[in-house]
Structure 1
Amino acid sequence: MLVDAHCHLDFPAFDADREAVFARARAVGVAHFVVPGTTRRRWGRVLALGQRDDVSLCLGLHPYFMDAHREDDVEALARALDAHPEAVAVGECGIDARFDETLAAQWSLFDAQLRLARARRLPVVIHCVRANDRVAKRLRQLALPAGGLIHAFAGSPEQAKAFLDLGFVVGLGGAPTHARARRLHRAVAALPDDGYVLETDSPDMPLAGHRGERNEPARLAEVCRAVAGLRGQAVERVAEASSATARRLFGLPAG
């Protein structure tokens, strides 16, 4: 069984064929899906998907959508987390340093969500772009009890180790499938078996050979093969290890 540890199946890109997307994923062995929240407006869609037995959900406020967030959204998130104990994590939250004009507001929003996670002993799902060292420093200061996921990791072996030492795991998706990602390839090869999960970030983060196409969870099988090749391991071992780590991190049902 494979677990897609991060996929935005609530997004409009899947409105026309969502059930077919689930069916294609099941056909290649993807049996469970973790769907993170991104904005308050979309939490309802995420919660609706979470009613499925094969979907687990997270609730959070994504740094990419700063224009969509409002002053009382953190309070609303706290209420939503308390009202929906089925949420397995806080997120997607984090820092996207490509957007310097919103960076101060991103840090404030990120800190608030980290505190919510700490108070509720929930893991966090972190979007971290061009900010690995700064985010690791902040996580070290807060010492979150349930750790979390560094989604779409694209850093160095040393940065991966820093996150693992803090009780986090890294998410591996489309990036390791690209031939030019040599630093990331070294990090993937050096990870312990319990240090990563597989993800697609559907509909985003396209794999090599699929540029311009909508991503979907069925491509997780390709991610698994690519990671297995980089690690010199059998595909079955990578599938089993990554799924076991996802179940441990998020408290998912045994598959």
Structure 2
Amino acid sequence: MYIDFHTHHPARGGERVILDGRDTWGIHPWQAHLPHTLPHGPGTLLAIGECGLDTHAPAPMPTQTDVLRAQLRMAEEWRLPVILHCVKCLDTLLALHKAMRPSVPWILHGFRGKPQQLRSLLDAGVHVSFGFRFNPESLVACPTERLLLETDEDTRPVGLLYQEVARLRGVSTESLEADMQEQFQRLFARHDRHAQAHQQDNSGDRQSKKERAHEE
């Protein structure tokens, strides 16, 4: 089974899609200037995102940064990984990471940068997801435990991406497939349990308050 970390085309010809009912939620930097209603709890969320920073987006950078910070704090509170979009703002993003010192994984999707940029992200503890457009040196240099694969807006089958990445990294497609499944579980399963526990704790608190109010 291929893990496609980030896609805008889940149903392609000849592909079997497995959906488990879990969602992600985030305010994309291109919508940072618009009003939004924040979720009240993690619910069925698997991650926060896509969120981030983009120099081409209409919202001014201070607004984008404030909106991103709010979502990063939410991710920390709910113990959810963060899926990040970053266009020409890597230094700002890394500065945020240094200031906030997150305890949950940050995953930068659609990474196309050079090896030096990859090294900065890896040193900060950030994971990276590669699509069909990538820097080959960066792809080869990325440790497996920090790597994810995605099709994003590309309509080609994700299997083609796995074949190309496996060829460049000198591994079998089957081995890469197994590694990506393990990586996905490692990133999301533990934090998914934390979010569910948070939801149960909050439900218990609300029930206790209702019971106390009824007794009074």
The normalised TM-score by structure 2 is: 0.79
Equivalent residues in 2 for 1:67-216 (5 A)?
Answer: 67=33, 69-70=34-35, 73=36, 76-79=37-40, 82=41, 84=43, 86-99=44-57, 102-176=60-134, 184-201=135-152, 204=153, 206=154, 215=155
Match of 2:159 among 203, 213, 221: 221
Identity among equivalent positions (%) equals 29
Amino acid paired to 1:228 = A
Q: Is the 8 A contact 1:228 1:234 kept in 2?
A: yes
SS at match of 2:128: strand
* Cα deviation, residue 144, structure 1: 1.1
The normalised TM-score by structure 1 is: 0.68
Output the CA distance in 2 between the equivalents of 1:199 and 1:230.
16
Larger radius of gyration: 2
Name segments (4+ residues, structure 1) moved above 4 Å: none
Output the CA distance in 1 between the equivalents of 2:48 and 2:124.
17
Residue 27 of structure 2 aligns with which residue? 61
Unaligned residue ranges in structure 2 (runs of 5+): 193-216
Output the CA distance in 1 between the equivalents of 2:91 and 2:15.
34
Residue 189 of structure 2 aligns with which residue? 251
Q: Does 1:237 align with 2:195?
A: no
Q: Is the 8 A contact 2:32 2:59 kept in 1?
A: no
Output the CA distance in 2 between the equivalents of 1:3 and 1:56.
15
Residue 6 of structure 1 aligns with which residue? 6
Amino acid paired to 2:71 = Q
Output the CA distance in 2 between the equivalents of 1:169 and 1:25.
26
How many residues of Structure 1 are paired with residues of Structure 2 in the alignment? 191
SS at match of 1:246: helix
Q: Is the 8 A contact 1:7 1:200 kept in 2?
A: yes
CA spacing shift, 1:114–1:220, aligned 2, 3 Å: same
Equivalent residues in 2 for 1:29-44 (5 A)?
Answer: 32=18
Q: What is the RMSD computed on CA atoms of the aligned residues? A: 2.3
Output the CA distance in 1 between the equivalents of 2:136 and 2:97.
24
Q: Output one character per residue of 1:15-57: Cα deviation in whole Å (capped at 9) or x when no partner.
A: xxx7xx267322xxxx65xxxxxxxxxxxxxxxxxxx42x532
Q: Output one character per residue of 1:135-179: Cα deviation in whole Å (capped at 9) or x when no partner.
A: 112112111111121010111222223223333210111213xxx
Q: Higher relative contact order at CA 8 Å, sep ≥6: structure 1 or structure 2?
A: 2
SS at match of 2:52: strand
Unaligned residue ranges in structure 1 (runs of 5+): 10-17, 33-51, 177-183, 207-214
Amino acid paired to 1:193 = T
Amino acid paired to 2:5 = A
